[in-house]
Structure 1
Amino acid sequence: MDLTELFFISLGTAVFLYYGIRLLLFSRMFFPKLWFPLSETFFTSMGEWAGSGNQRTPSIKKVVTGGSEGIGRAYAFALAERGMNVIIMSRTKATLDQVAMEIGETTGKKVKVIVTDFTDENVFSEIEEQLKDLNIGVLVNNVGMLPSFIPCEFLESEELDKTITKTINCNVKTTVKMCKMILPGMENRRKGMILNVSSGIASIPFPLYTLYAASKVFVERFSQGLQAEYDDTGILIQAVAPFGVSTRMAGYQKTNAVTLSPEDFVKNSLQYLRAGGKTYGSVCHIVLGWLLQSIPLKVLYAESVLHGLQEYVKKKTRQKNLVFASRVTTQTGTNK
């Protein structure tokens, strides 16, 4: 056997082993309970509390930003069901109060609400004041905004300057500032958990949702960098990147194998807490992420594909509006 033959045999063996190991690692995602088990006390081990009250004595709390609906609401419920009290933050007090009441009645856990608008420039000093005497054990950075539900080119966005500021404040600045606020206490106690909600479309540069996708790329890289920095402190930091979830941001699409309800998505994603610095949160979304990154960008960026996406979303929006108008008309007629 000459050196050339030996080289190619060695190269082929190395490639086979490399992709074999990658396939094995990927296959683990189909069996999260087997590969990434959590103890029954995993969540409560962060502390007896995961929400916040007004007492001044130290206790462990949990904060969910954007907790009044959708994925944030589902996280608040899921963690309360696992024995944690919660703090939920959003800008609509009536909705927050309703969610707090439902969590309390359903789980018996305590809930504190903080009303704030994360698109504003200066909201964090007030939040920090309300949290300064509390030891936060779990932080879920879920709050986010989609600049435009209908996909459009960057320069076509309405009130572009305001949109840029609000998107960066909400999707980028909030994540960083909340981590700055909460992380020191976790580091001192050498335990805690931070989940930063990104988006599946951040897997690639995504035309027509350019600003939103770019802001979510920041969330992923920030989360993964923090995890590397604090890996030896006992703090778990993870970016969660869902694709289709039936929320207001996604136009409340019908649930199916790909588009999950917020409750189902959160239930699935919590099984992947020990799966690494980033998770898509469910088997179907993991496969979608793999497919999206496997398709050549030239295909995805073809004008026909982008135009088809735009028309699809417009059609779905019209259908939603017609259904809503029909319901309003029916209710008005009934009231008469």
Structure 2
Amino acid sequence: MSGAEAVLKAVEAPLFWLGAATAAWFSVCTVYRLLSGLRVWFLGNGRLVSPAKLGQWAVVTGATDGIGKAYVEELGRRGFSIVLISRSQDKLDDVAKAVESKYGVQTKTIAADFSSVDIYSNIEEGLRGLEIGVLVNNVGISYSYPEFFLSIPNLNSFIDTMVNINITSVCQMTRIVLPQMVDRKKGAILNLSSASGMNPLPLLTIYSASKAFVDFFSQALQTEYKSKGVIIQSILPFYVATKMSKIRRPTLDKPTPERYVRAAINTVGLQERTNGYLPHAIMAWVTDLLPSSLFRSYVMGMGLSQRARYLSKQKTG
């Protein structure tokens, strides 16, 4: 036997077992992911989000439209008393009355403009004494159309408004509600980020960055307070058929707010960071496979097309 043959003979068995162990590891990981996906997307954890397990009251910001309104309705259906917070008192009254009538739950409204920063003492007073089991930090704004950073109309005030609504509101509402959840060792804070915060989006720069903040804030906070019995979840939807997204007709990948929220609420306690809806989770998986430079180039091209259409309509309108 030659020297080379002896070497091959010596390493043959270790290589075989290394290959077998690697194949077994990948098989176990694949089965685990399939079972985890089955648990999350088909079985869910819907029983966790209830007044008995988390606390009697739920607080929802941006409660009168879109995803926020859908959370109000779903939480009302589950028996929570609900504090609705939004800018328009008339809209708040309409949604609160509808939920009370439909589900027989107690509601409370607080009118607040989250573009301001002097609203939180009033909100804090309005929530005083309530056993808050769920906080949904939903309020948010986006761009009217994709635009270059320096070309955004009224850029100075736009920056302040975007930061106050999309970032400051999440931090301040969490500051107000989290202490009592820690004291009771139970509660859930659901922070609406966006798939736009998963990757940098050119022409939606401030919005994308603000939603990335919400995502990182939520992940870090969950690590801090998980041992205290509090759930903090980052929710990253793709397009949902809402007024803000300007999508009128829902599809499988662009669901109604109600359909999206029914799916997302079942992931609470199962996923700390979730896209909330199976088609959106698949879209996120595909997006993650793309090189970041290719993804940004694609988004840039799409944004430029949307920008051109918007500006053309403005000229002819």
Q: So what's the TM-score if we normalise by structure 2?
A: 0.88
2:18 corresponding residue in structure 1: 10
Find out whether 1:213 has 2:208 as its counterpart. yes
How many Å separate the matches in 2 of 1:38 and 1:231? 19
Displacement of 1:130 after TM fit? 1.5
How many Å separate the matches in 2 of 1:264 and 1:34? 14
How many Å separate the matches in 1 of 2:178 and 2:81? 19
Displacement of 1:27 after TM fit? 5.6
Identify if the C-alpha distance between structure 1 residues 315 and 32 changes in structure 2 by more than 3 Å, giving closer, same or farther: same
Find out whether 1:309 has 2:309 as its counterpart. no
Task: Give secondary structure in 1 for the equivalent of 2:220.
Answer: helix
2:4 corresponding residue in structure 1: none
1:58 corresponding residue in structure 2: none
Q: Deviations over 1:7-54 (max 9, x none)?
A: 686378447625751563266335426654343x7412246621xxxx
1:25 corresponding residue in structure 2: 33
How many Å separate the matches in 1 of 2:27 and 2:231? 28
Residue type matched to 2:144 in 1?
F
CA contact (8 A) 2:45 2:270 kept: no
CA contact (8 A) 2:235 2:273 kept: yes
Displacement of 1:124 after TM fit? 0.7
Task: Give secondary structure in 2 for the equivalent of 1:139.
Answer: strand
How many Å separate the matches in 2 of 1:169 and 1:248? 20
1:53 corresponding residue in structure 2: none
Find out whether 1:112 has 2:119 as its counterpart. no
Identify if the C-alpha distance between structure 1 residues 35 and 178 changes in structure 2 by more than 3 Å, giving closer, same or farther: same
Number of equivalenced pairs: 307
1:286 corresponding residue in structure 2: 281
Find out whether 1:45 has 2:52 as its counterpart. yes
CA contact (8 A) 2:146 2:204 kept: yes
Q: Which has the higher contact order (CA 8 A, sep 6+)?
A: 2
Larger Rg: 2
Identify if the C-alpha distance between structure 1 residues 24 and 163 changes in structure 2 by more than 3 Å, giving closer, same or farther: same
Identify if the C-alpha distance between structure 1 residues 201 and 27 changes in structure 2 by more than 3 Å, giving closer, same or farther: farther
Find out whether 1:137 has 2:114 as its counterpart. no
1:251 corresponding residue in structure 2: 246
Displacement of 1:134 after TM fit? 2.1
Q: Deviations over 1:142-162 (max 9, x none)?
A: 00111x231112112111111
How many Å separate the matches in 1 of 2:294 and 2:124? 46
Residue type matched to 1:310 in 2?
L
Task: Give secondary structure in 2 for the equivalent of 1:112.
Answer: strand
2:83 pairs, out of 74, 87, 91, with 87
Q: Deviations over 1:217-259 (max 9, x none)?
A: 1111111111111112221110111101011110133100110
1:166 corresponding residue in structure 2: 161
Q: Which runs of 4+ in 1 moved over 6 A?
A: 316-319
Identify if the C-alpha distance between structure 1 residues 110 and 25 changes in structure 2 by more than 3 Å, giving closer, same or farther: same
**Percent of pairs with identical residues:** 30
CA contact (8 A) 1:251 1:317 kept: no
CA contact (8 A) 1:204 1:293 kept: no
Q: Deviations over 1:85-118 (max 9, x none)?
A: 1001010111111101111111111111100011
2:264 pairs, out of 266, 269, 291, with 269
Find out whether 1:66 has 2:62 as its counterpart. yes
How many Å separate the matches in 1 of 2:28 and 2:198? 23
Identify if the C-alpha distance between structure 1 residues 76 and 255 changes in structure 2 by more than 3 Å, giving closer, same or farther: same
How many Å separate the matches in 1 of 2:112 and 2:80? 22
Q: So what's the TM-score if we normalise by structure 1?
A: 0.83
Find out whether 1:121 has 2:117 as its counterpart. yes
CA contact (8 A) 1:205 1:214 kept: yes
> Mind listing any 5+ residue stretches in structure 1 that lack a counterpart?
51-61, 326-336
2:3 corresponding residue in structure 1: none
CA contact (8 A) 1:150 1:310 kept: no
Residue type matched to 1:237 in 2?
I
How many Å separate the matches in 2 of 1:100 and 1:318? 40
> Mind listing any 5+ residue stretches in structure 2 that lack a counterpart?
1-8
1:190 pairs, out of 180, 185, 188, with 185
